[in-house]
Amino acid sequence: MKFGYFLNQNNRHLKKPFYEVVQEGRDIAEYCDQNGWHSIWTTEHHFGHEGFEVCPNPGLMSVDLAARTKQIRLGQAANIVTFYHPLRLAEDLAMLDHMSGGRLEVAVGRGIYPRETINLNPLADVANQEQNQEIFEETVEIMRRAWSQEYFEFQGKHYQFPHPGVKFDHAMSPPEEHFQDPETKEIRKLALVPRTLQQPTPPMWQVIDSPRSIKFSAQNNLNGMFWIPPTDSMVPRFEMYQEEASKARGTDVPYGHGLALVRDMFVTETMAEAEKLAGGGIIDYLKWVCHYRGLGNHVFPGETLEQTAGKLDLLSYEWLHPRNLLFGTPDYIAEKIHEMKEKLNLQHLLVWSNFPGVEHEAVMNSVKLFTQEVMPQFAEDAPAVAAAD
């Protein structure tokens, strides 16, 4: 199993200068890089004055971490691609792949918060789900073509590259038929410079949960990344991905392959200490996130949620813990991971512990305890871990 750290940066309650938030992310990345972790994943959200999810540029954060690490892979979970010009994003990520020595992992998403989508790209407003999906799909395809083809073109509903009718006539760029009409000088194709170091593309992921997103990622050769549902509720989702990927690729895709699961994690010496130090932080965060999502993704198979006056009334540490939290002792957490391996054939586990309001020292202690006492229990399918302070 490959272990990754999900660096979802927050600045709630403690209200630190932002450079301290950045430095704390560096601390985690440098430790994980030196101690056998496979990857670290930065996130993207905007306008978060409340202190939740305060990193607006996962690519730029990844560049900083690339300069401070040597071997850990650098992912973004996710680049919200509907917010960007497709070619600028493709260029930026290709630069990152070269600057990191080919350590780039790319996850893509569509965006979920209305105040982000409407203000960053009105055409991708989540109020118009179909158009948002169209822009997402076109952007992903453009990025792939730009990275993998020496000269590329794209004609879609929302984007056309190169722009029609553009002529380029320069003695130092002789007209050649593979990118230009030699007589009219009209550009037929473009060349991205640089293309990614990893060819044809870096590993590509999609943050998924709904049947539509599961099917799209499977059918379009994107790895899938899940988060909230309990392990038993993940089984049909993993089965759907396997079935759709196998049909699309014309070969049997092994169950669990191409998929990652994100879990909220806090390791301490006792079960009570985990709740004391980080229980309030994760509940605070989920009240923020589930305002939009509700609690439906947290249910066990066949479970019906109790009807309450408010949609988040059920949310408590006691209600949440048995569903999906890796909170507690190293042995408890290892047992839960073994269960995920058994039921999901899980290949990639991403964990995060820097919850809102939790002191950085406590976060680092948890990361170290996970590294030193949980990861070695999976040494048969993970790199050897040399613990360091």
What the block records as the tokens of 205 is: 């992921």
Host H or E run for residue 252: none
| pLDDT attached to residue 381 | 60
- pTM of this structure: 0.93
Total residues belonging to the chain = 389
Host H or E run for residue 264: strand 259-267
Query: Which residues, including other chains, have CB under 8 Å from residue 181's CB and lie 6 or more apart?
Result: 175, 188
Q: Which residue has the tokens 């990844």?
A: 62
Please check whether residue 179 is in contact with residue 190, taking contact to mean a CB–CB distance below 8 angstroms.
yes
Q: Which long-range contacts (CB under 8 A, 24 or more apart) does 152-156 make?
A: 152/189, 152/190, 152/191, 152/192, 153/188, 153/189, 153/190
* Amino acid, single-letter form, for residue 299: V
Q: Going by DSSP bridges, is the β-strand pair 154-155/160-161 parallel, antiparallel, or unpaired?
A: antiparallel
How far out from the chain centre does Cα 221 lie?
A: 16
How far out from the chain centre does Cα 49 lie?
A: 22
Q: Cα–Cα distance between 42 and 79 in angstroms, integer?
A: 9
Which residues does residue 105 pair with via DSSP β-bridges, in sequence order? 75
Which residues does residue 4 pair with via DSSP β-bridges, in sequence order? 39, 350
Q: Cα–Cα distance between 136 and 82 in angstroms, integer?
A: 5
Host H or E run for residue 67: helix 58-68
| pLDDT attached to residue 171 | 85
Q: Cα–Cα distance between 192 and 213 in angstroms, integer?
A: 28
3-class DSSP state of 167: strand
Query: Residue 61's closest CA among 14, 114, 99?
Result: 99
Query: Which residues, including other chains, have CB under 8 Å from residue 8's CB and lie 6 or more apart?
Result: 43, 53, 55, 352, 354
| pLDDT attached to residue 320 | 98
Taking CA 114 as the corner, what is the angle to CA 293 and CA 236, rounded to the nearest 5 degrees? 30
Please check whether residue 65 is in contact with residue 31, taking contact to mean a CB–CB distance below 8 angstroms.
no
Ordered structural domains, the chain, with CATH: 23-37+208-384 (3.20.20.30), 39-163+193-205 (3.20.20.30)
Query: Which residues, including other chains, have CB under 8 Å from residue 122's CB and lie 6 or more apart?
Result: none
Give the Cβ contact number of residue 165 at 10 Å.
Answer: 8
307-341 burial, b for 16+ CB within 10 Å, e for fewer? Answer: eeeeeeeebeeeebbebbbbbbbbebbbebbeebb
Give the Cβ contact number of residue 296 at 10 Å.
Answer: 12
3-class DSSP state of 204: strand
Q: Residue 54: phi, psi to the nearest 5?
A: -100, 5
| pLDDT attached to residue 385 | 41
Q: Please state whether 61 falls in left (phi above 0), alpha (psi between -120 and 50) or beta.
A: alpha
Per-residue pLDDT tens listing for the chain (389 residues): 999 999 999 999 888 999 999 999 999 999 999 999 999 999 999 999 999 999 999 999 999 999 999 999 999 999 999 999 999 999 999 999 999 999 999 999 999 899 999 999 999 999 999 999 999 999 999 999 999 999 999 999 999 999 999 998 888 887 788 888 888 989 999 999 999 999 999 999 999 999 999 999 999 999 999 999 999 999 999 999 999 999 999 999 999 999 999 999 999 999 999 999 999 999 999 999 999 889 999 999 999 999 999 999 999 999 999 999 999 999 999 999 999 999 999 999 999 999 999 999 999 999 999 999 999 999 876 444 444 44
